[in-house]
Amino acid sequence: MKDRIRSLIYRAMEHQNALRTEPLDASRGVETHLFGEGGQLDSMGLVSLIVSVEEEVESEFGVNLILASDRAMSGRRSPFATVGALADYVESLMGEGAKNA
Amino acid sequence: MPDQPVTLITGTRKGIGKYLSEYYVAKGHAVIGCSRDAVDWSLEGYTHLRADVTDEKAVVQLFATIRHKYGRLHNLINNAGIANMNHTLLTPMSTVRDIVGTNVFGTFLFCREGAKLMSKALYGRIVNFTTVATPLKLEGEAVYAASKAAVKSLTEVMAREFASYHITVNAVGPTPVPTDLIRSVPRSKMERLLQRQAIVRYGEMEDISNVIDFFLSPQSGFVTGQNIYLGGV
């Protein structure tokens, strides 16, 4: 499950690269910084990546997730800091979705 | 722009939404309409999806369906709206929730999800609905006027937020058009309202589609964050 989520995040990053002048560097794997300190994305880039990840989640798992939430945007540990944090966050949201279903 | 524009219109079961569906199908658009209930009419080139515009999950699912079937969305017309003529002192909270829910939350949700779909193509046109009740400060329409003032504000701010995706967001504010929305309003009240317009007559459906045509035009890429009131209000 986690591997599939990480893969779809990398795919979403590749989609973003088509729109960027400087491609996102994913060479550090799950440690790849996305947003915040040392991050490669500005706020607009983050918005685009979130949209792309939501689409990939829907395509991969058939689940409609809304990644932006009060908790995600204001939490001390941003779920958008790294690829790994984002994968953990997506997995936790999918778990919540399954519980609520 | 590909040959056939894909246009989503909310609140298409009747009234202006139904008219706009027929109008844009006739202009060659693939029109997707939505409303809480099924429609009792059908049209080649028109697809109806049922959704409560205030239900976040249902709206997200609706856009997933559009993404799968059409792959993209060029135009979004947020027509769905409700009004309820009532003095503030006689307005139950449930009415306030209904009006704000459909007019503000619904418009917000469709703009958010629509812009997500449009952002990938770096092209989009969003048209929201305001009303002359706001600038005319119509008594008996406090909640309706306030909800549409919120829509105007959403339009202006989203225009800036979506600009880098080449998505424009504008609004049209119709005068009263003879539809179900004003059926219950006394004739004398409507006459007094019309007298406050620069051009004293009821609006026609065509007056509204004329403004929307302008906003949807691919040539209107430099027009965003604007609101046009009809009738010279």
Instruction: From chain A, pick out residues whose CB is under 8 angstroms from the CB of B56.
Output: 66
pLDDT of res. A101? 54
The pair of structure tokens assigned to B139 is 């008594």
Distance CA A31, CA B55 (A): 36
Q: What is the DSSP letter of B74?
A: S
pLDDT of res. B147? 98
Q: Nearest Cβ partner of B164 from A44, A51, A55? A: A44
Asked if residues B77 and B124 have their Cβ atoms less than 8 Å apart, the reply is no
What is the pTM (predicted TM-score) of this model?
A: 0.90
Q: End-to-end CA distance of chain A: give it in Å, rounded.
A: 18
pLDDT tens, position by position, B150-187: 999 999 999 999 999 999 999 999 998 887 666 777 78
pLDDT tens, position by position, A54-78: 999 999 999 999 898 877 777 678 8
Interface residues of chain A, partner chain B, Cβ below 8 Å: 15, 19, 44, 48, 51-52, 54-55, 58, 64, 66
Residue closest to B35 by CA, chosen among B56, B21, B49, B18: B49
pLDDT of res. B86? 87
pLDDT of res. A44? 85
Map B169-215 to HEC letters.
EEEEECCCCCCHHHCCCCHHHHHHHHHCCCCCCCCCHHHHHHHHHHH
The continuous run of DSSP H or E covering B167 comes out as strand B167-173
The pair of structure tokens assigned to A66 is 């809304």
Instruction: From chain A, pick out residues whose CB is under 8 angstroms from the CB of B120.
Output: 15, 51-52
Residues facing residue B7 across a β-bridge: B31, B75
Q: Of the ranges A58-72, B8-22, B199-213, which one carries the lowest mean pLDDT score? A: A58-72
Q: Is the pLDDT of residue A98 over 80?
A: no
Written as one letter, the residue type at B151 is V
Distance of CA A81 to the CA centre of its chain: 9
Cβ atoms within 10 Å, residue A3: 8
Q: Kindly state the percentage of chain B with pLDDT values over 70.
A: 97
Q: Is the pLDDT of residue A86 over 60?
A: yes
Number of A to B CB contacts under 8 A, please give it.
18
Written as one letter, the residue type at B19 is Y
* Phi, psi (degrees; rounded to nearest 5) at B54: -95, -5
Q: Is the pLDDT of residue B58 over 90?
A: yes
With cut-offs at 50, 70 and 90, classify the pLDDT of residue B208: very high
Query: Could you tell me which chain A residue has the CA closest to the CA of B61?
Result: A64
Predicted-complex ipTM score: 0.77
